[in-house]
Amino acid sequence: MIKKCLFPVAGYGTRFLPATKAMPKEMLPIVNKPLVQYGVEEAIEAGLVDIGMVTGRGKRAIADHFDMNYELEHQISGSSKEQYLESIRSVMGNAHFSFTRQVEMRGLGDAILNGRRLIGDEPFGVVLSDDLCLCEDDGVMSQMVQLYKQFRCSIVAIQEVPDELIHKFGVIKGEQMKDGIYSVTDMVEKPSLEEAPSNLAIIGRYILTPDIFSIIENTPPGKNGEVQLTDALLAQAKNGCVLAYKFKGRRFDCGSVEGFVEATNYVYENIYKPE
Ligand code: G1P
């Protein structure tokens, strides 16, 4: 079924400067694990084991993180410190990584289009690792894969957000089909409160059918002069079907300092296991 997952990781992370001057924002740790590893673990849990990363300049640490570090392995082999490598060893043993570079930053839609060669002609997941999603049972991507099996069309994850935050998101309008599942009829990227068609905001988890690539090719630049995935998804919804799914779980906006700190405290108190 769905085996591939795309991670657009070319963004600058300006909100975390100077920390992100020479280090990718996706490598910032939530306690002891880089943000991007949480996203990759969520994809693997959903069976999406072919991981494609759309990277850019200054992002090599991400590729290195998912590669073998022989010197480190040699140093700590057989010592009590080996336990610290357990999670990344498991990720590397269970997934395969491919990388491509987005040469110019032209928006999320453009980043996805750059991943086309890694994906080919099959449905795929997208994880924006800034959005850290933690769930008690199945992860968000697993929940969405289950839904895809039933409906076989593109799906966006959504959450209700308060009025003052609505301008930060893509916002949908939809007809409720079942509890928490909407058929999308409209979508606006980062609207003002007056323009927003609802309070249902898109969170950084998508399942996309491969026709999205040719739709993006025909999508003109939108909000902020960037090619927006939201605009391409609206075109897809108008010609066929796009679902919006209110996922079960908690989302932290790790693209903002406040959300990052909140996630750190939450993981430290609820998930992290000290020695
Ligand atoms: C992107 C999308 C937006 C979505 C958001 C979720 O925006 O363009 O539609 O709501 O991710 O985090 P970004 O936050 O990358 O500007």
pLDDT per residue as tens digits for the range 50-89: 999 999 988 999 999 999 999 998 999 889 888 888 899 9
- Model confidence at 128, pLDDT cuts 50, 70, 90, reads very high
Q: At 203, which amino acid appears? A: I
Confidence of residue 186 (pLDDT cuts 50, 70, 90): very high
- pLDDT on residue 13: 87
In sign, the C-alpha dihedral spanning 222, 12, 216, 170 is negative
* Structure-block tokens of residue 220: 């003109």
Query: Which of 6, 14, 169 has most ligand 1 atoms within 8 Å of its beta carbon, as the pocket-test mutant?
Result: 169
Q: SS3 for 67?
A: coil
φ/ψ (deg, to 5) at 251: -120, 135
Tell me the pLDDT tens digit for each residue of 213-271.
999 999 999 999 999 999 999 999 999 999 999 999 999 999 999 999 999 999 999 99
3-class DSSP string for 173-231: EEEEEECCEEEEEEEEECCCCCCCCCCEEEEEEEEECCCHHHHHHCCCCCHHHCCCHHH
* Cα four-point dihedral sign 20, 22, 27, 31: negative
Which ligand 1 atom is the nearest neighbour of the CA of 201?
10
C-alpha span between 258 and 173 (Å, rounded):
28
Give the helix/strand (H/E) hosting 100.
Answer: strand 96-101
User: How confident is the model over 79-120, as pLDDT tens digits?
Assistant: 988 888 889 999 999 999 999 999 888 999 999 999 999 999
The pLDDT score that the predictor gives to residue 273 is: 81
| Non-local CB neighbours of 231 within 8 Å, separated by 6+ positions | 109, 187, 189, 219, 220, 222
3 state SS of 159: strand
Q: Report the pocket of ligand 1 as residue ranges, CB < 6 Å.
A: 108, 128, 131, 169-170, 189, 201-204, 229-230, 255
Separation of 254 CA from ligand 1 center, angstroms?
A: 12
Distance 219 CA to ligand 1 centre (A): 17
- Report which secondary-structure segment, H or E, holds 116: helix 116-119
DSSP annotation string for 13-56 = -GGGTTTTSSS-GGG-EETTEEHHHHHHHHHHHTT--EEEEEE-
For the CA of 189, the closest atom of ligand 1 is: 9
Residue 14 pLDDT more than 80?
Answer: yes
Q: Which atom of ligand 1 is nearest to the CA of 170?
A: 9
Q: State in Å: Cα 203 to ligand 1 middle.
A: 7
Pocket test for ligand 1, best of 7, 14, 15, 108 (most atoms within 8 A of CB): 108
* SS3 state of residue 89: helix
Ligand 1 centre to CA of 96 (Å) is 26
Closest by Cα among 67, 142, 68, 131 to 97:
67
CA of 84 to the centre of ligand 1 (A): 32
Is the CATH number of domain 4-270 3.90.550.10? yes
Tens-place pLDDT, residues 145-168: 999 999 999 999 999 999 999 999
| pLDDT for residue 5 is more than 90 | yes
Interval between CA 204 and ligand 1 midpoint (Å)? 6
* Ligand 1 centre distance from Cα of residue 202 (Å): 7
pTM for the full predicted model: 0.96
Domain boundaries, the chain: 4-270
